[in-house]
Amino acid sequence: MKVYKTKEIRNVALIGGAKSGKTTLAESMLFEAKLINRKGSVEDKNTVSDYRPIEQEREHSVHSSLLHTFYDDKKINLIDVPGFADYVGETIAALRVADTALLLINGQSGVEATTETAWRRTVIANSPVVFAINQLDHHMVNFNDSINSLKAYFGDKVTVVQYPVNPGEGFNTIIDLVLMKQLKYNDGGGEPEISDIPAEELDRANELHLKLIENAAEGDEALMEKYFENDTLSIEEMREGLRLGLITRTIFPVMVLSAKHGIGVSRILDFLSKSCPSPADMPPVKTVDGQEFHCSVEEKPALFVFKTSIEQHLGEVSYFKVYGGEISEGMDLINARTENKERITQLFVLNGKNREKVEKAVAGDIVTTIKLKDVRTSDTLMDASIVDKGFKPLDIPDPIYIVAIKPVNSSDDEKLGALLNEMHKTDPTLGIEFSRELKQQLIKSQGEFHINTVKWYLTKANGVEVETFTPKVPYRETITKIADASYRHKKQSGGAGQFGEVHLRIQPFEENYAKPTDFPVRGTEEHDLPWGGKLIFHNCIVGGAIDSRFMPAILKGIMERMNEGPLTGSYARDIVVYVYDGKMHPVDSNEISFKLAGRNAFSAAFKSAGPKIMEPIYDIEIMVPEDMMGSVMTDLQGRRGMIMGMDSKGKNQIIRAKVPGAEIARYATTLSSLTSGRGVFTMKFDQYQQVPTDVQDKLLKEYEESQKEQED
């Protein structure tokens, strides 16, 4: 394959809602360049993008696919991105390396919930966006409604570049406002028949053309002056204005097409090649240390790994964009994370699962390699002469849907762990954690759909049957008042016996807590607990009632009990302990005796000290359309949520609330149902608070019953 220069490369992310036609468009784009002989379809399970078994079974994309096509002697790299919000990680990665986002709109539906999700990601990534209204051949399509909804949601920067003459069944004709020509296509695509705009369309075309020129000129002062002087712009000037406006997000052009029938596809490729930015046109990318890379071959070699996949017969495949210099086979680079050397053994360009070997890739290009030693998604590989921490990692969103998982057959435990870790490697938005506290394997995800994908791979691709369930809540236990207790551990079994007696007092920890006056404090240890909160341990022994060598054993016994609190087995926290008396035996006392005495004395005191269960409280921020606020607020109140405030943002309302962790385990599914997929939320741990009395009584009863079941 020819090595294309940076200026000859276009990197395009195909984003948008599910069923908006991204995969079909990618198929048509490859067909236009004669890279495939016939177009596949999602229904026939033979598209270049959706080549994985799960995608063919479900008839939608699950993973992003890297493809490329050619037009006007330009190489156009395409990243076909899944449309469901649960796969947001794929969108984030694609937008990180793309220089244009082609956001597809289903012409029958206009702006959908998943359209809004994709748009929000372009705002965060500051990506140039071109809208493409697809499926204009459908009888239920309404182009004007689609344009109105785009402008209503995304503002007046949305600018019509094309409009359909005959939308609906038989759609084949477009008015192009850059060329100011009519384009008529044959079914199947190809280059259109170009003619003058008919008289009946001229007034509308002139009006929209003027608006296009005005918006294109706004992106550059020199173009604005030319527009004022000449009352118009040439085609080349308009293209320059579009390119600059895209980069600064001051214009969002709207194209039209029917990807299935190839109508408008060649013109979109033409627009991408002539009016959209190359990697060299985009603002420089900074490393963590502030070094700038301008996608120039004159710079030292540097690349960013934005995706990892595991492919049959190939193993681990690393997808990367070159941000500086040229990358060639046999080149040694340094991994900025590990500071270890990595050798690029082979380079490939992809079209789905089909790969073509290339000898080098220049700055701005997107390619893949295999057999790297220790490279992960978000890693930076750089020339050895560069001392830098590398490019900023992908901005992975916090999980919003967590489940516990276990294999149906316990013999699959080890295999399950290995498979989950492999999945995390290819999908960083999928968090994998074994909670020692809950004694559960947790999967932290972006939604129920995300979890179902994990289960598909485990069961259908790897034969590991699993079950998922709501994870336990990481409660905490504490006390609310002062209590004393003592315990004598005595055991005689013929030989050496065991004896240890401990008297102690406990009180709640709070800043500037008052120490007792009826016994002195001889020594203090302060422990910040791994699970939050504190344990303050005071040695108040006088007169040698307990030898100092046994104090660590008493502390160990107390700590063991705090690891498994007396109420529900949850971690205990924020307690001050005073060991003020006890007894020893000159022969039978040993460390185990005092560990057990300390543990049991602490447990008895804990139960007399107004024990309370504490639950995790989360700050939750929900963005919903205004007309759906009522149902969302009612649902929050039913979850013991406390509304903290509300704001407006565009057409949406922001609700801020504090909600107990026990009430939001599957909130992502509920919110989607309440808002038809338009509601989104983030959550962040805030603090622990005491549970209401009725909730505590219920938890205590459940724990007692579970303990009885274990004994039986």
- 121 near 85, Cβ under 8 Å? no
Residue 337 predicted with pLDDT over 70: yes
**17 Cβ contact list (under 8 Å, min separation 6):** 83, 104, 106, 109, 112, 113, 114, 115, 117, 118
- 311 near 355, Cβ under 8 Å? no
Domain with CATH 3.40.50.300 in the chain: 6-281
Q: By C-alpha distance, which of 369, 293, 289 is closest to 336? A: 289
Give the sign of the dihedral formed by CA 589, CA 595, CA 600, CA 603.
positive
Label residue 126 left, alpha or beta by phi (over 0 means left) and psi (-120 to 50 means alpha).
left
- Please state, in angstroms and rounded to a whole number, the distance separating the CA atoms of residues 671 and 634: 12
Q: Give 649 or 443, the one with higher predicted confidence.
A: 443
Helices 113-125, 143-154: inter-axial angle, 10-degree rounding: 40
Q: By C-alpha distance, which of 506, 502, 570 is closest to 536? A: 506
Over range 109-130, report the average pLDDT: 94
Tokens in use for 131?
A: 């809208």
- Phi and psi dihedrals of 330, rounded to 5? 85, 0
**222 Cβ contact list (under 8 Å, min separation 6):** none
Eight-class DSSP state of 61: -
pLDDT for 318: 97
- 24 near 42, Cβ under 8 Å? yes
Q: By C-alpha distance, which of 165, 175, 239 is closest to 205? A: 175
Q: What pLDDT digit, counting tens, does each position of 406-440 carry?
A: 999 999 999 999 999 999 999 999 999 999 899 99
Q: By C-alpha distance, which of 448, 475, 468, 435 is closest to 660? A: 475
* AA identity, residue 421: N
Over range 41-60, report the average pLDDT: 94
Across-strand partners of 101? 13, 129
To 10 degrees, the CA torsion angle through 410, 416, 417, 420?
-150
Residue 58 predicted with pLDDT over 90: yes
Write out the H or E segment, with its range, that includes residue 393: none
- Please state, in angstroms and rounded to a whole number, the distance separating the CA atoms of residues 227 and 158: 20
Q: What pLDDT digit, counting tens, does each position of 503-529 carry?
A: 999 999 999 899 888 889 999 999 999
Q: Is the pTM of this model over 0.75?
A: yes
SS3 category, 369: strand
CATH architecture of 614-694: 2-Layer Sandwich (3.30)
Cβ count within 10 A of residue 314: 15
Tokens in use for 177?
A: 């406002």
Superfamily for 6-281? P-loop containing nucleotide triphosphate hydrolases (3.40.50.300)
* AA identity, residue 484: D
Provide the pLDDT confidence category of residue 1 given band limits of 50, 70 and 90.
confident
Between β-strands 302-311 and 347-351, what pairing exists: parallel, antiparallel or unpaired? unpaired
Provide the pLDDT confidence category of residue 712 given band limits of 50, 70 and 90.
low
Residue 610 predicted with pLDDT over 90: yes
Between β-strands 9-16 and 74-80, what pairing exists: parallel, antiparallel or unpaired? parallel
- Phi and psi dihedrals of 485, rounded to 5? -160, 160
Residue 146 predicted with pLDDT over 90: yes
In 312-449, the DSSP E strands lie at: 315-324, 326-328, 331-335, 341-344, 347-351, 354-358, 360-362, 366-370, 380-382, 401-407, 431-435, 440-445
Over range 467-487, report the average pLDDT: 96
Q: By C-alpha distance, which of 271, 264, 272, 72 is closest to 183? A: 264
Please count the CA atoms within 13 angstroms of the CA of 81 that sit on its side-chain side: 34
DSSP 54-77: HHHHHTS-SS-EEEEEEETTEEEE
- Please state, in angstroms and rounded to a whole number, the distance separating the CA atoms of residues 598 and 556: 8
When mean pLDDT is compared across 178-187, 486-495, 585-594, 635-644, the lowest value belongs to: 486-495
Residue 494 predicted with pLDDT over 70: no
Place of tokens 């998922």: 468
- 97 near 306, Cβ under 8 Å? yes
Eight-class DSSP state of 280: G
Q: What pLDDT digit, counting tens, does each position of 2-36 carry?
A: 899 999 999 999 999 989 999 999 999 999 999 99
pLDDT for 230: 85
Provide the pLDDT confidence category of residue 313 given band limits of 50, 70 and 90.
confident
Domain with CATH 3.30.230.10 in the chain: 477-610
Provide the pLDDT confidence category of residue 222 given band limits of 50, 70 and 90.
confident
Label residue 371 left, alpha or beta by phi (over 0 means left) and psi (-120 to 50 means alpha).
left
Provide the pLDDT confidence category of residue 224 given band limits of 50, 70 and 90.
confident
SS3 category, 422: helix
Helix, strand, coil percent content, the chain, rounded in steps of 5? 30, 35, 35
Residue 245 predicted with pLDDT over 90: yes
Eight-class DSSP state of 550: G
pLDDT for 171: 96
* Buried/exposed code over 342-362 (b: 16+ C-beta within 10 A; e: otherwise): bebeebbbbbbeebeebeebb
- Chain-centroid distance, C-alpha 529: 30
pLDDT for 44: 94
**406 Cβ contact list (under 8 Å, min separation 6):** 413, 416, 440, 441, 466, 467
Domain with CATH 2.40.30.10 in the chain: 285-382
Residue 563 predicted with pLDDT over 70: yes
CA angle 64, 66, 72 (to 5 degrees): 135
pLDDT for 711: 64
pLDDT for 529: 95
Burial of 438 from C-beta contacts in 10 A (0-12 / 13-18 / 19+) = middle
Over range 292-304, report the average pLDDT: 97
When mean pLDDT is compared across 68-72, 266-270, 404-408, 492-496, the lowest value belongs to: 492-496
- Max CA separation in the chain (angstroms): 113
Write out the H or E segment, with its range, that includes residue 667: helix 667-674
* AA identity, residue 618: Y
* AA identity, residue 294: H
Residue 276 predicted with pLDDT over 70: yes
Q: What is the mean pLDDT of the chain?
A: 94
Label residue 532 left, alpha or beta by phi (over 0 means left) and psi (-120 to 50 means alpha).
left
SS3 category, 423: helix
Secondary structure tally for the chain: helices H, strands E:
16, 38
Residue 339 predicted with pLDDT over 70: yes
In 383-532, the DSSP E strands lie at: 401-407, 431-435, 440-445, 466-469, 476-478, 483-491, 498-508, 523-528
Q: Which fold has domain 285-382?
A: Elongation Factor Tu (Ef-tu); domain 3 (2.40.30)
- 193 near 180, Cβ under 8 Å? no
- 250 near 218, Cβ under 8 Å? yes
Q: Which listed CATH number (3.30.450.20, 3.30.70.870, 3.20.20.140, 1.20.140.10) goes with 401-464?
A: 3.30.70.870
Between β-strands 100-106 and 9-16, what pairing exists: parallel, antiparallel or unpaired? parallel
Q: Which fold has domain 477-610?
A: Ribosomal Protein S5; domain 2 (3.30.230)
Eight-class DSSP state of 269: H
Provide the pLDDT confidence category of residue 686 given band limits of 50, 70 and 90.
very high
SS3 category, 234: coil
Across-strand partners of 407? 466
